[in-house]
């Protein structure tokens, strides 16, 4: 079954891939990093942000995180997101309607997100 992916599903895939292994994702960084990436990544064209001062927020990103936690794919502890054992089931779900090129795009963007996330966590003064 092929259908158009919603932005929530794309963001969910990117977050889930980036949270691989034992490296948790600090959720406080997700909004700002994806906001910084939006202008360079066409896959984020449907992603909307609210900006208040230096804080950016996306309801779409929050929905994606809740989608993953409610589905049992991520566990959030103390502001950190950890991948759960059944994360592969989410990819089975996504592969049911994403084309190969869309899966490759999600994977590529996830690698860039992961790289920015690790650089920013290592040196919080670095701006994405």
Task: Write out pLDDT tens, residues 32-79.
Answer: 999 999 999 999 988 999 988 878 899 999 999 999 999 999 999 999
The pLDDT assigned to 124 comes to 56
The pLDDT assigned to 123 comes to 62
Percent of the chain with pLDDT strictly greater than 70: 91
Residue 73 DSSP label: S
The pLDDT assigned to 95 comes to 85
* Residue partners of 123: CB distance under 8 A and separation at least 6: none
Kindly report the number of other CB atoms within 10 A of residue 31's CB atom.
19
The residue written with tokens 């034992």 in the block is 22
């Amino acid at each position: 079954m092929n259908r158009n992916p919603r932005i929530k599903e794309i963001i969910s895939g990117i977050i889930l891939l980036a949270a691989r292994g034992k490296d948790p994702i600090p959720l406080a960084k997700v909004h700002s990093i994806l906001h910084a990436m939006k202008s360079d990544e066409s896959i984020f064209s449907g992603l909307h942000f609210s900006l208040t001062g230096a804080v950016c927020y996306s309801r779409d990103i929050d929905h994606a995180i809740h989608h993953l936690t409610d589905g049992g794919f991520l566990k959030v502890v103390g502001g950190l997101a950890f991948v759960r054992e059944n994360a592969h089931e989410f990819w089975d779900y996504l592969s049911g309607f994403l084309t190969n090129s869309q899966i490759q795009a999600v994977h590529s963007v996830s690698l860039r997100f992961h790289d920015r996330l690790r650089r920013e966590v290592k040196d919080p003064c670095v701006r994405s």
